[in-house]
Amino acid sequence: MTAKEVRVGLLGLGTVGTGVVSIIRRHQDELRHQVGCPVTVKKVVVRDKAKPRPVEIEESLVTDQIEDVLFDQDIDIVIEVMGGVETTRDHLLTALRNGKHVVTANKDLMALYGAELLQVASEQNCDLFYEASVAGGIPILRSLSDGLSADRITKMMGIVNGTTNYILTKMTQNGSSYEEVLKVAQELGFAESDPTADVEGLDAARKMAILLRLAFRWMLV
């Protein structure tokens, strides 16, 4: 049977979620062509319903109750762009067990619980896609899992953290100190006010854990 509509439940309407909503709207013709039917956002979960949003969204679509998405029989796909690890894992397990396909941009979650979530997705005959979690602009994950699936990968190298890439580039080009460049990166919004996850390597380590699982078929990370 051909679906008449693909209905999306969005978890999070921040930087990424706002982009998801506007792309689904602006690229509706392309999506309809690719998928074969319209793709519509049915519900959006946020923490604070009263917060002004940079994207126009009908009030009736916005909720602060995650169950409105997880248990809605009409929602086909859950797109998780709210971040968090332990609770978010529980939510996505619930979504998968309710037969919903899941898309997530959450590298922390996928690095720590990716194997479990992928296992449950497979048991439930659901898709779990997470391309945006690592180098989404390239993109690399689907290339590894599909395009290179019969190749033997021997080494994985790359710059996976934009903040440290910026800092190291500026230090090399301008001879500036680490502290100076970090301050500029924070002012420009390239580095968080608490840059620990980036500059201590945690972000890069989690991204590499996801890449290595695909490249070397590791199920446990």
Residues at the contact surface with ligand NAP, assessed by CB under 6 A: 12-17, 45-48, 51, 81-84, 105-107, 132, 136
Cβ nearer to ligand NAP, comparing 46 with 77? 46
Q: Which one of the listed residues 100, 107, 170, 207 is annotated catalytic?
A: 207
Residue nearest to ligand NAP (CB): 14
Mark whether 42 is an active-site residue. no
Q: How many helices (H) and strands (E) does the chain have?
A: 10, 6
For tokens 């945006």, what's the residue? 132
* C-alpha to C-alpha distance for 115 and 219, rounded to whole angstroms: 6
CB of 205 to ligand NAP, least distance (A): 14
Cβ nearer to ligand NAP, comparing 66 with 120? 66
* C-alpha to C-alpha distance for 130 and 141, rounded to whole angstroms: 8
CB of 132 to ligand NAP, least distance (A): 5
Cβ nearer to ligand NAP, comparing 37 with 138? 138
Residue type, 175: G
Cβ nearer to ligand NAP, comparing 137 with 175? 137
Say if strands 77-80 and 62-63 run parallel, antiparallel, or are unpaired. Answer: unpaired
Strand order in the sheet with 101-104: 62-63, 39-45, 6-11, 77-80, 101-104, 128-129
For tokens 């709207």, what's the residue? 25
CB of 106 to ligand NAP, least distance (A): 4
The catalytic residues are 207
